[in-house]
Structure 1
Amino acid sequence: MYSSVVRIQNAFGFFTTVAFAVAAFIAATDLLALRTPSVGVLKTTNVQVVRGRPHYYSSKKEEYAIIKFSLDADLSSLFTWNTKSLFVYVTAEWPSAGASSSADGAPNNQAVIWDSIITAPSADHLANIGPVAMKKLKRSAQGKSIDPSRGKLTLKNQRPKYQITHPTGHVAEQDDVVLRLHYNVQPWVGILTWNQEADFWKWKTLHNGLSKKFSLPSLKKKTAEKKAGGASG
């Protein structure tokens, strides 16, 4: 009745129960941490719409937008002792055709133009970085549970990593375009957490994470300006 196999099974079952309880407790401690992410500046600095091949693997020419932007954000409060990494990305969004705004019920177009992964000091060894950068990270985090500079973003006239395209091949003359900052917190133990849509106890919504509305320029206007410049020369 109490064979070695049964005893091993009982011991393993007890171990998994204890491990699950400890993991649940660790995940619950995130609720005690104050999260107050905020954005000081999120704005476009240059917007262009050109026609060509947005990617080297594109088979045909199409319109695509290049949006440069500036960002000043403080996401350092998202780092706790249970944080493994923080995924940050900026999207450009605009209403679907025939809808003046997202309130009309039509889904918005959304395209990622920039992203970045910020690791916590305890997870720096998982980042794909060189030895020199690794030494700097270790030096900055020495004696600290969380490096205060983690999550503080200051980007000036940042070039996008990805161009904006559309299945129709046309993106020029789009109105009511906005930039939005998103984040995703990956913990060591627990569930992934995304942008808070509403305040939840000590977890606050991302303040000022939306830019002012702007329009994508017209290709015709840009072509006309080039012709005018050539004629004047």
Structure 2
Amino acid sequence: MYSSLVRLQNTFGFFTTVAFVVAAIIAASDLLAPRAPVVNTLEANNVQVATGRPHYYSNKKEEYASIRFTLDADLSSLFTWNTKQLFVYVTAEWPAAGSENATNQAVIWDTIITSPSADHLMNVGPATMKKLRKSAEGKSIDPSRGKISLKNQRPKYQITHPSGKLAEIDDVVLKLHYNVQPWVGALTWNQENLDVGLWKRLKGGVSEKFAFPAIKKKKEGGEKAKV
């Protein structure tokens, strides 16, 4: 006869197998949900370059760029019943000097959009949490989640470069990226060049090219002029 320990091990092994199979089915169900993310507008509004010290004790100044932007995107199709949250971020990208294939990339803004079932994980104040709970009442998926509309948005992060130089650089573009984080399954990133079944590649998501301006310096008398 089997001992109590053997029976316990067999029971645990059975439930572990069942849990694994259920998790695999849940993860595979994402492939049956269509994805068609669209970026209608992404453009730089106000680009400035200034100099500053990277920290208080530094004697060397570096150039920093600040980019305001407008974004209108519909990423709501990325939310399914298995979506925990969506990480969205905007980068500024430009060709690396002296290399044909290398690209400089820096994040200027990001946000996390939770699904109604994951709102409790948000580290927000009571007023914001109350709004989230109200919008999620009776819904497994909120159709308004994933719709982003920003006008002349201030960047969260100023950007710099290891060389300390950013002024008068051409061919800069803004790009939108996303990362879908499911409750069960693998993380998936934005598709830029390929459709995979019902998952369509991101439409739009790249701004027109622009340039970092020259740094403005003060003239004698307090007036400002470009270098």
Report the TM-score, using the length of structure 2 for normalisation.
0.93
CA deviation string 1:140-187 (max 9, x = no partner): 121222111101001110111111101111111111100000000000
Q: Which residue of 2 aligns with 1:41?
A: 41
Task: Tell me whether 1:157 sits opposite 2:140 in the alignment.
Answer: no
Q: Which residue of 2 aligns with 1:146?
A: 141
Counterpart CA distance in 2 for 1:84 and 1:58 is 43
* Superposition RMSD in Å: 1.7
Q: Which residue of 2 aligns with 1:137?
A: 132
Q: Which residue of 2 aligns with 1:199?
A: 195
Question: Which of 108, 114, 117 is the equivalent residue of 2:112?
Answer: 117
C-alpha spacing 1:42/1:16, structure 2 compared with 1 (3 Å): same
SS of equivalent to 1:93: strand
Q: Kindly indicate which of the two structures has a greater share of residues assigned to strand.
A: 2
Task: Tell me whether 1:30 sits opposite 2:25 in the alignment.
Answer: no
Question: Which of 171, 175, 181 is the equivalent residue of 2:170?
Answer: 175
Counterpart CA distance in 1 for 2:13 and 2:223 is 82
Counterpart CA distance in 1 for 2:181 and 2:128 is 22
C-alpha spacing 1:30/1:228, structure 2 compared with 1 (3 Å): farther
- Please state how far the C-alpha of 1:4 moved relative to its aligned partner: 1.0
CA deviation string 1:112-150 (max 9, x = no partner): 000000100000000001111111111112122211110
- Please state how far the C-alpha of 1:227 moved relative to its aligned partner: 2.7
Task: Tell me whether 1:52 sits opposite 2:44 in the alignment.
Answer: no
Unaligned runs of 5+ residues in structure 2 are: none
Unaligned runs of 5+ residues in structure 1 are: none
Counterpart CA distance in 2 for 1:75 and 1:36 is 8
SS of equivalent to 1:46: strand
CA deviation string 1:165-217 (max 9, x = no partner): 01111111111100000000000000000011310011111100100111101
Amino acid at match of 1:199: D
Task: Tell me whether 1:209 sits opposite 2:205 in the alignment.
Answer: yes
Report the TM-score, using the length of structure 1 for normalisation.
0.90
Q: Kindly indicate which of the two structures has a greater share of residues assigned to helix.
A: 1
C-alpha spacing 1:75/1:218, structure 2 compared with 1 (3 Å): same
SS of equivalent to 1:164: coil
- Please state how far the C-alpha of 1:231 moved relative to its aligned partner: 5.3
Question: Runs (4+) of structure 1 moved beyond 2 Å?
Answer: 56-61, 226-232
Counterpart CA distance in 1 for 2:93 and 2:127 is 37
Aligned length: 222
Q: Which residue of 2 aligns with 1:90?
A: 90
SS of equivalent to 2:19: helix
Counterpart CA distance in 2 for 1:204 and 1:150 is 19
Counterpart CA distance in 2 for 1:87 and 1:205 is 17
- Please state how far the C-alpha of 1:111 moved relative to its aligned partner: 0.2
Identity %: 72
Task: Tell me whether 1:227 sits opposite 2:219 in the alignment.
Answer: yes
Counterpart CA distance in 1 for 2:17 and 2:148 is 41
Counterpart CA distance in 2 for 1:157 and 1:169 is 26
- Please state how far the C-alpha of 1:22 moved relative to its aligned partner: 0.2
Amino acid at match of 1:74: D
CA deviation string 1:43-101 (max 9, x = no partner): 000000000136x66834210100000000000000000000000000000001024xx
C-alpha spacing 1:57/1:83, structure 2 compared with 1 (3 Å): farther
- Please state how far the C-alpha of 1:29 moved relative to its aligned partner: 0.4
Q: Which residue of 1 aligns with 2:16?
A: 16
Instruction: Identify the range of structure 1 (135-144 vs 208-217) with the bigger mean alpha-carbon deviation.
Output: 135-144
Q: Which residue of 2 aligns with 1:2?
A: 2
C-alpha spacing 1:178/1:14, structure 2 compared with 1 (3 Å): same
